[in-house]
Every structure is written in structure tokens, then in C-alpha cells.
Structure 1
Amino acid sequence: MKHRAAVLLGAGALLAGGLVAAPSASATTSCLGSSCNGLNPANTTCANDARTVAEGSGPITAMELRYSPSCRAAWGRFKISAPSGSKIQIKNNQGKQYTTYGSGHFFSVMVNDKDVKAWACGTWKANTDCTDEY
């Protein structure tokens, strides 16, 4: 009991003295604009402030265009459960384009959306649904 109390007191003194710092949360993004091209939004901070800015307009509205204001990047996401072999193409009007294959409610990698327009198209079975530009 005495040993445990000494350890706890010692740790408290180290923290109070600034010798051991607690990890701090970072508010910085992990990419911005073109540096986000091809990155998985789940592996960045971009998903933290993402919002849906456009939806598909096909007979089956399946696609969402997600946008992160802090990263200035966009990606596509299936809002339906897509069957195996489905794909999402994310594009911007600078000619960048990425294709991500998957199934279920999956999403694409990101594309730069800083001062350009981006859109996403999802394809499954014989269906295609594209979002408006944002």
C-alpha cells in the first residue's frame, strides 16, 4: 500500500512539474486540397467535419458527395448497400479521377476540391448514379 501511494504521488508530481505531458488533440488537418488526392478520408482528419453537399439524381439515388471544409477535399459515398463489384469514381474539373471498388455503404478516396468542382458517380450492376458538382 505504501509503495502504491508513493508511485501515485510521484506520478502526480511529475505531471504537475511538467516532466510528463499528456497527449494533446491536434486541430490541424492531415492534408489540404491537392495534398488530399487519393487519400482515404477515414485515415485523415477530413472526415471529422465532412458534410453531404450533393446527392445523385438517377432513378435510384444512391450516391452522396461528401466535402470537408477544413481539408477542401471531396469524396463519394454509397448511401445504399451496394453489391460486390460496385465502384465509385470521384473526379474534379482539373482532370483528377480515382476509382474505388467495394460493397455495402463504402466510400471513395478523396480528390482536391479547393477552388475547383468535384463530383462522384457510383456504378453497381447495370445502374449508374452521379452527383451534381460542388
Structure 2
Amino acid sequence: MEFKETPAIYIQIAEYVCEQILLKKWKLGDKIISIRDLAITMEVNPNTVQRAYDFLQQRNIITNKRGIGYFIEEDAMERILSFRREQFIENELPVFMRNIYLLKIDFKEIKSSFDQFVKDNFKTK
């Protein structure tokens, strides 16, 4: 995984875990990948993944069943949406809004591009 300068790597890993859940690649209530395996996959120190998992536990998105592993909370979806919205509004939206203003992009154009993006990338049944 390519990491950005900010936010911290453990936050980016937490966002990745949340994204897997939002995309329904990881199901509510299911066991998630171990700290060691995710660290190997993401090419980071296991302590960084541990910090991400601790962060998600504090937000009641995942839970640790001692000796078994980490599991997604059954009611985690709303907390994930809240966390991701908070991160988006704090980190990404200001840059997006600045560019809209500087480039004089019309909201109709953005809406059209957004609709096409959703159609191309998130096909619904």
C-alpha cells in the first residue's frame, strides 16, 4: 500500500480496514485479518497495525476476542461512517473546496462527474 504523508500510517490502516467493511469485502461480525498478516500485506511493522486496531477498538468498530482474534462489531457501520466522514471533512474536503474555487469548477460539472464515477466504479445490482 502506498501511504500518504498525512495522516499517520496507523490512521491510514484504520481507514483501509473501514473501507473493506464499507465495501462489504469484510462482513459485520466476521473475524478480520490478523495483525501479523495485515502487517505483512501492508509492509509495515506489526506495532503499527496494532495501533490501528487499538484505534478501531476505542471507536467500537472492532473487538478483540482474546486468543481468537479481532472481529468486526455487528453495529459498526454507523460508527465507521461517522469516523470516515470526520476524516474526510477534516483532511480532504478543504483541499477539494479550495481547488473548486481556484479552478472555477461549476457544481453541475462536479455532480455529472460524480454520477459517472459512481456508475463506473460502484455498479449496483
State which structure, 1 or 2, has the greater radius of gyration over its C-alpha atoms: 1
More strand by share: 1
Structure with the higher fraction of residues in helix conformation = 2
Length-normalised TM-score, structure 2: 0.25
TM-score (norm: length of structure 1): 0.24
